[in-house]
């Protein structure tokens, strides 16, 4: 089956620093990747949609300069949280999609900003 | 605008019994897909079942079935013969149109299976 990996699974960083999260589709080429964040006991909130080779489309209220998304290839998308603050602490999940309806989720990255 | 509503924040079910998790949706797009995902405490999103808007029959996957009532815009998940391992958060989700379109999620229902 289709597998999506995320790295790292957990990261702790200091306030003001930047952190990069990688999302890879391991056995298929993803035309589209999605980035979600999930606060404790809440649902997944879509942050942005990225297509390979083009700029990401951000959802309303998501700061594109703070959450930098790069979809460099059909198997890799990265999310960089710049100048992280404690309120950015969350669970970040990526998913990858081909041309159909299904999307395949990564295992998530838990970010803690101290 | 598309919208997914799950009105049950928490549900209890006795082991080996069936349980129905409710989901209603709203969309103006005639073409859409409906999904159910399970999220255990580990955080991973596990795909359970999919129903396309043009599918004539209700989807089934093992112990999971989707009760699709298009006119009512509901897509309830039925889990038969509940197991202790079914205890988790369950999300209903919808995706409009074809590939590349975003998926939105409901608020989720936490299911507790009692021994």
**Residue the block writes with tokens 């043009």:** B54
Pairwise pLDDT comparison (A114 vs B98), residue with the higher score: A114
Give the β-pairing of B10-14 and B109-114.
parallel
Gap between the Cα atoms of A71 and A73, Å rounded = 6
Decide if B99 and A97 are in contact by the 8 Å CB cutoff: yes
**A62 at interface of B, judged by CB pairs closer than 8 A:** no
How large is the average pLDDT for residues A43-57? 89
Mutate to test the interface with B, among A29, A40, A42, A44 (most CBs of B within 10 A): A44
What is the pLDDT at residue B98? 52
Mutate to test the interface with A, among B37, B102, B110 (most CBs of A within 10 A): B102
Decide if B100 and A97 are in contact by the 8 Å CB cutoff: yes
What is the pLDDT at residue A2? 84
Gap between the Cα atoms of B8 and B89, Å rounded = 11
Burial A63-99 (b: 16+ CB within 10 A, else e): eeeebbbebeebbbbbbebeebeeebbbbbbbbbbbe
How large is the average pLDDT for residues A24-38? 92
> With 80 as the cut, is the pLDDT of residue A102 above it?
no
Pairwise pLDDT comparison (B29 vs A113), residue with the higher score: A113
Reported as a pLDDT band with limits 50, 70 and 90, residue B83 is very high
Measured between CB atoms, which of A49, A104, A110 is closest to B102?
A: A49
**B45 at interface of A, judged by CB pairs closer than 8 A:** yes
Reported as a pLDDT band with limits 50, 70 and 90, residue B100 is low
Measured between CB atoms, which of A31, A44, A91 is closest to B99?
A: A31
**A2 at interface of B, judged by CB pairs closer than 8 A:** no
How large is the average pLDDT for residues A51-76? 90
* In contact, B82 and B18? CB cutoff 8 Å: yes
What is the pLDDT at residue B52? 93
> With 90 as the cut, is the pLDDT of residue B57 above it?
yes
**Average pLDDT over chain A, rounded to an integer:** 92
> With 80 as the cut, is the pLDDT of residue B37 above it?
yes
Angle (CA) B18-B21-B26 rounded to 5° is: 150
What is the pLDDT at residue B96? 79
Give the β-pairing of A109-113 and A57-58.
unpaired
**B84 at interface of A, judged by CB pairs closer than 8 A:** no
Beta-bridge mates of residue B10: B110
Decide if A93 and B106 are in contact by the 8 Å CB cutoff: no
**Average pLDDT over chain B, rounded to an integer:** 93
């Amino acid at each position: 089956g289709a597998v999506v990996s995320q790295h790292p699974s957990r990261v702790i960083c200091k306030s003001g620093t930047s952190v990069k999260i990688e999302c890879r589709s391991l056995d298929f080429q993803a035309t589209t990747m999605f980035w979600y964040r999930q606060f404790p006991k809440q649902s997944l909130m879509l942050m942005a949609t990225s297509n390979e080779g083009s700029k990401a489309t951000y959802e309303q209220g998501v700061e594109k300069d703070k959450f930098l998304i790069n979809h460099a290839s059909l198997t890799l998308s990265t999310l960089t949280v710049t100048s992280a603050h404690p309120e950015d602490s969350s669970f970040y999940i990526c998913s990858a999609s081909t041309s159909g309806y299904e999307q395949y989720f990564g295992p998530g990255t838990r970010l803690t900003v101290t | 605008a598309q919208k997914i509503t799950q009105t049950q924040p928490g549900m209890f079910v006795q082991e080996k019994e069936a349980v129905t998790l409710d989901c209603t949706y709203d969309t103006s797009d005639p073409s859409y897909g409906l999904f159910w995902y399970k999220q255990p405490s580990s955080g991973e999103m596990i795909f359970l079942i999919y129903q396309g808007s043009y599918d004539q029959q209700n989807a089934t996957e093992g112990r999971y079935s989707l009760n699709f009532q298009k006119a009512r815009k509901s897509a309830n998940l039925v889990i038969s013969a509940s197991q202790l391992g079914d205890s988790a958060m369950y999300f209903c989700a919808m995706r409009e149109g074809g590939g590349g379109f975003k998926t939105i999620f409901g608020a989720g229902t936490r299911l507790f299976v009692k021994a």
